[in-house]
């Protein structure tokens, strides 16, 4: 038996289609050839294909994919410190929310009348108090 070609069809949005058509025109090949080349490359590299511009950085194929970079330890420490600080602030916020809820419950449950200090100033028959 021979090698039979199969047809694959799928949909792309209009912007992607225009980009693919531009690539095909730039390479002076058909749009179908662009897909055949991509599929052949995908199969040949076991699904690990990266798209980089021909004039892009590094053109060498000895780099591993996906690319890896080293991050300075100071950056990692600062990130960890900020995570701990954020966690601490979240805990403080939760504690504050609990306290506010407690105060609201006390206000709703209490039958005590609230007396404004300004109201006390205008009543001469009540005894005056002085802190000190």
The pLDDT tens digits for 74-129 are 988 999 999 999 999 999 999 999 999 998 888 887 766 667 777 666 656 666 66
Please state the domain count of the chain: 2
CB 79 within 8 A of CB 73: no
Report how far apart, in Å, the C-alpha atoms of 75 and of each of 17, 71, 80, 84, 87 are: 41, 7, 9, 14, 18
Asked whether residue 96 is assigned to any structural domain, the reply reads: yes
Asked whether residue 5 is assigned to any structural domain, the reply reads: no
CB 43 within 8 A of CB 53: no
Asked whether residue 88 is assigned to any structural domain, the reply reads: yes
Asked whether residue 94 is assigned to any structural domain, the reply reads: yes
| pTM to 2 decimal places | 0.35
Furthest CA-CA distance within the chain: 115
CB 31 within 8 A of CB 20: yes
Q: Is the confidence at residue 25, as pLDDT, over 60?
A: yes
DSSP, collapsed to helix, strand or coil, labels residue 47 as coil
Asked whether residue 49 is assigned to any structural domain, the reply reads: no
Asked whether residue 97 is assigned to any structural domain, the reply reads: yes
User: What's the domain range around 93?
Assistant: 73-109
């Amino acid at each position: 038996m021979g090698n039979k070609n199969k047809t694959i069809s799928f949909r792309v949005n209009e912007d992607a289609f225009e980009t693919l058509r531009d690539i095909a025109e730039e390479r002076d090949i058909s749009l179908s050839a662009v897909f055949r080349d991509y599929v052949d490359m995908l199969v040949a590299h076991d699904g690990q294909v990266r798209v980089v511009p021909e004039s892009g950085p590094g053109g060498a194929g000895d780099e591993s994919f996906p690319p890896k970079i080293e991050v300075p330890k100071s950056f990692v420490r600062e990130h960890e410190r900020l995570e701990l600080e954020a966690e601490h602030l979240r805990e403080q916020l939760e504690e504050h929310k609990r306290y506010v809820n407690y105060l609201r419950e006390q206000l709703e449950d209490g039958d005590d009348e609230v007396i404004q200090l300004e109201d006390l100033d205008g009543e001469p028959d009540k005894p005056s108090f002085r802190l000190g």
